[in-house]
Structure 1
C-alpha cells in the first residue's frame, strides 16, 4: 500500500510540473522548438553501487542525478535521501530547479538527484560510506563548473562535506583547491557560507513578509501551520515568530500536533533535537490525526516537506488565506484550482523557496573568488535578490491578471527562451 502511494506521489510530481510548464508555455506562446527542448531533460544518470554495512553485509544502492537544462549556466540542485527518490521524481525536481534558478536571475541551470533509501535505518558511519561511494559513482558528471549539488531532504552540511572530500580526493593535489565549489551547503569550517543553513527558510519568511507588505497585512498575531520541521520549517518558523506570528500546528513524518494558543518554536526545536527530529510527543501540544492537519484554523500555511501534499482531497479543508510553498511541488494542479477559486493566495515554490539556491550561489561565488562574507552581508544580499524576484512576479501577475505561479513560470521560461533565441541552436 505504501509503495503504491509513493509511486502515485512521484508520478504526480512529474505530471504536475509538465502541466505547469505546458500551461505557461501556452500562456506566453513559447517558440515550439524551444518548447521541445525545455520539455525534456539533457542528461539522466542512474548508478547502482555496493556499500559494506557495519555488520559486514553488502547492500546495493541506487542513486540518481538528472540534469534538466544548462542554457543559463552550470546545473544546480539538491541531493535527497528518501524512499520516494527515483528517475521520475528527479526529472520533476530538476525541471523545477531550472525554473527556480532562471526566475532568480542566477547563472545556473537545473538538476536534482539522490539515493533511494530511508536514512533513519543506517548509522552515521554507513551514511558516510554510502555518500562517498555515491560521489565516486557520479564521477565527473558533477563538477564546480558543470553540476553543483546541494543539501535537500534528509541531507545536510555533513553530507556535503563528505561529497566535497571524496570528489577532491579524485583530483590531482594541484587541482584540489580549485574544486571547493563542487557542492554548496557545506559546513562553514569546510568552505561553507555564513547564513546558508537558514537561507531557504529565510527566503520563505521573506516571501511571506513581502506578500504581507504588498497586501498591507500585519504578520503580528497571525496564526500559521508548518508541514515539515526540518531545516526549512524550523527557520521559517523562527523568523515568523520573531515577527509576532503564532505557530499553532506542525506535522512531520512522526505525526501532527496542535496548540491553538501557540507553540514555542525554540521549545519544539529542542524537543526534536532530543527525539531524532520528530515533533511527536511534544508536551506543549496535542496530537491530531494527520488527515486533519491542513484543516487547522490558521491564516498562513507553510508546506515545507514533500511534493503533492495539498491535493483535491484536502484543499477544501484549508482555512488559511495564504500558502507559502517551502517544499518543491507541494500543491498539485487540481488543488491549486480549488484554492484559487476560494481566493487563497499561493506563493509558488520556484519563488518562495528560492532562498536556498540564492544562498548556494553566494557560497559558490565566495569559494570561486577566495572570499569570506559575514552573515549580515549574505542576508542583506539575499533580501535584495528575493525582493527583486518577488516584485517582478507581483508586477507580472497584476499586469496580466494571472496567478503568481503562472507569472513566475512565465518570467522564468521567457528568460530561457531569450537565451536560446540569442544564441541559436547548435549546429
Structure 2
C-alpha cells in the first residue's frame, strides 16, 4: 500500500467515525427528549391533566405521548424528501433545531394550576413539534451512517440503535437519581424539568457538530430526484409495505421498555428508583451490544440475524411476564430486563442496515422515514396507551405480552417476505 492510499483510507475512517459521533449525539438527544416524557408520565399527568380518576389522568398523558406520533409521518415526508433532494446533512441540522424548540417549550411551560387549559394545549403543540422532528431523524441519520461505508452498512447503521441505548441510559439515570433523591413535592415542583433543561444544554453542541459535517460520498455520487415521495409510492410499494412490517416488532419492543417504569410502579408496586435502575441496564445492553449485532449482520445477513430474537421474543415474553407478576422483585425485574434487552437489541440493531438496503439512494431517506414512522405511529407511539388499556380491559397484568406477541408475528411474516420477495438473507 503506497502512502497516498494509506492517507486516503485513514481519512475515510476518520470521516466515518466523525459521522458516527455526529449522528449519534444528535439522535441520542432527539430520542432523549421524547423518552423522558414517557418516563415521567405519572408526574406530568398530575401537573397538566388533573382528573378525579388517576387512571383517566394517566391515559390522557399517555395519549398525548401518542398524539405527537401523528406528526411523525408528516415529518418523514417533509424532512425525508428534503434529505433526498438537499442532502442528509441539511436534514439532520433541521431536525435538531425543531427538537430543541419543542424541548424549550416543555422545559419552561407553566402547569395547569397556573394557566389552566392553556397548559395541556401548549404541551400538545410542543409534543407535535418534537414528533415532526423525530419523523425525519431516523431516516436521515440512518442514511447518513449507512452511506459512509457501504460495505459495512450494518455496523455503521447500528450506531443509530446504540445511540438510542445511550438515550435510555441517560433518561433512566435521570429518573432514578431524581426520584431517589427528591421528595414527591420537589419532583412535582421542579425536578421533572431537569432532564429537559439538560437536553437544551446539549442541543447546541449537537447542532454545531452537525453543521460541520461533510455530505455522504454515496449521496454526492448519485443522481438525485426531485420527486422522491412520488417515486417511492409508484415504484417501491412492496418494499415500503415489507419495511413497515419489519419495523413493527422493533418499535413495540422499544416502547414496551419505555413503559416499564410506569408498569413497575403502577402494577407491581415497585419503587420508581428500582424500576428506573432496571431500565438503565437495558440501555447499557443496547448501547454495547448493538454494534456487534450490526457487524454480524454484515457478515451473515440482516434477516438471518433478526429471525432468532424475533422467534425467542414470541415464545418467551408471556412466561416472562407471568413470572414477573408472581415474583415482583428487583431481582426478577432485572433478570427480565437483561433477557429482554438482549433480544430486543438482537432484532433492532440489524434493522437500520436492512432498511437502508431496501431503497435506492435517490429515495432512501424518504422510504426509510416513511416505513419507520408509519410503523412507529400506528404500533409504537400508542403502545403505552394500548398496553394500559389492555391491562384495564382484560384485567390481566400480563397484557403487555399480548401486544408484543402480536408484533412478533407481524414482523416474522415481513422478514420472510423480505427473504422470498426481495432476496435478502
Common topology (TM > 0.5): no
Which structure would you say has the larger RCO, counting Cα contacts within 8 Å and 6 or more residues apart?
A: 2
Q: TM-score, normalised by structure 1?
A: 0.26
Q: TM-score, normalised by structure 2?
A: 0.26
The structure with more helix, counted as a fraction of residues: 2
